[in-house]
Amino acid sequence: MAPRTTTLELHKEEMKFSAGHFTIFSATHRENLHGHNFSVYVALTGEVSDDGLLSDYGPLKQAIIARCKAWNETFFLPGHSKHLRLERDEKGNHVAHFNGEELRFLQRDVTVLPVANVSLEELARVFGEELVGDGSAMARDHITGLVVKCASGPGQWASWEWKRDV
């Protein structure tokens, strides 16, 4: 009998966070500071085991919720932007330099992300790469694909996709 595949979709009430940001469009143009109520959706694809399960997805669900809690009520700054320079002041607070402007943020309010820009595309990627890690847990659970979607509101999503090399 051929292996049976399925897709398991996770989109729970706890899989959301509120955060502030601004998108940088060029060396001279950026959005004003603002925020969103983001939500996260994750889909796992793989083989159904003889026990009728794809995976014990409890740990993955907890990792998603933990990341949402860590990002909740924070302000995102891009750590790899070619148009924004970040530094710390004498108190350890963040100073962002953009096109002659100086934006100051308390250290406790900021999450610097490993992204070129704070966009849905980048948030979905960072989320997904953290969940996949080195891929060993995905392989152990016979997961062959993962899709992470981040939304900044109804009808506005970006997705990141991972497929295991078979």
List pLDDT tens digits, range 74-117.
999 999 999 999 999 999 999 999 999 999 999 999 999 999 99
CATH number, domain with residue 77: 3.30.479.10
At 77, is the secondary structure helix, strand, or coil? strand
What residues make up the domain containing 47? 5-163
Tokens 């993962």 belong to which residue? 146
Q: Is there a contact between 119 and 11 (Cβ–Cβ < 8 Å)?
A: no
Q: How many domains does the chain have?
A: 1
C-alpha span between 24 and 5 (Å, rounded): 41
Query: Which pTM was predicted?
Result: 0.91
Per-residue model confidence as pLDDT tens digits over 7-61: 999 999 999 999 999 999 999 999 999 999 999 999 999 999 888 888 888 888 9
